[in-house]
């Protein structure tokens, strides 16, 4: 378990824009992940992702670590932004893009890179 937590912490610290999701940006496996990906792509910056369906330990441990029970989860510069509803709402009201662009200025992982 501590190894999984170490992995989560490393993923979050090494990726300034990180989406924990079901599936991949090219093939989301749930509607909420698809909406989150669309909002992130609409911000025009590259982002990393972790497919929690391929990582059951992360799927189990991340909600405890983040104190956030659902997926997707968007992390910017090591801080949890929130899930689908928050991501989409922030995108629609213009708050998400500046935050994503600021995070991208710190470091830009390749879009679709597995974290």
Per DSSP, the residues of 81-97 read EE-HHHHHHHHHTT-HH
43 has binding-site annotation: no
Is 30 annotated as belonging to a binding site? yes
Taking the alpha carbons at both ends of the chain, their separation in whole angstroms is 18
Known binding residue 64? Answer is: no
- As a whole number of angstroms, the distance between CA 58 and CA 21 comes to 11
The two structure tokens encoding residue 111: 């879009």
Whole-structure pTM value: 0.90
CATH 3.20.20.140 fits 3-107, yes or no: no
pLDDT in tens, 56-112: 999 999 999 999 999 999 999 999 999 999 999 999 999 999 999 999 986 544 445
46 labeled part of a ligand binding site: no
């Amino acid at each position: 378990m501590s190894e999984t937590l170490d992995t989560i912490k490393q993923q979050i610290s090494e990726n300034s824009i990180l989406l924990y999701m079901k599936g991949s940006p090219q093939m989301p496996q749930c509607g909420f992940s698809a909406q989150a990906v669309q909002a992130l792509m609409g911000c025009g910056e590259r982002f990393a992702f972790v497919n929690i369906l391929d990582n059951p330990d992360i799927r189990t441990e991340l909600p405890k670590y983040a104190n956030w029970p659902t997926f997707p989860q968007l992390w910017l510069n090591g801080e949890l932004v929130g899930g689908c509803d928050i991501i989409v709402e922030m995108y629609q009201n213009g708050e998400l893009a500046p935050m994503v662009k600021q995070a991208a200025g710190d470091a830009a992982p390749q879009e679709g890179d597995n974290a």
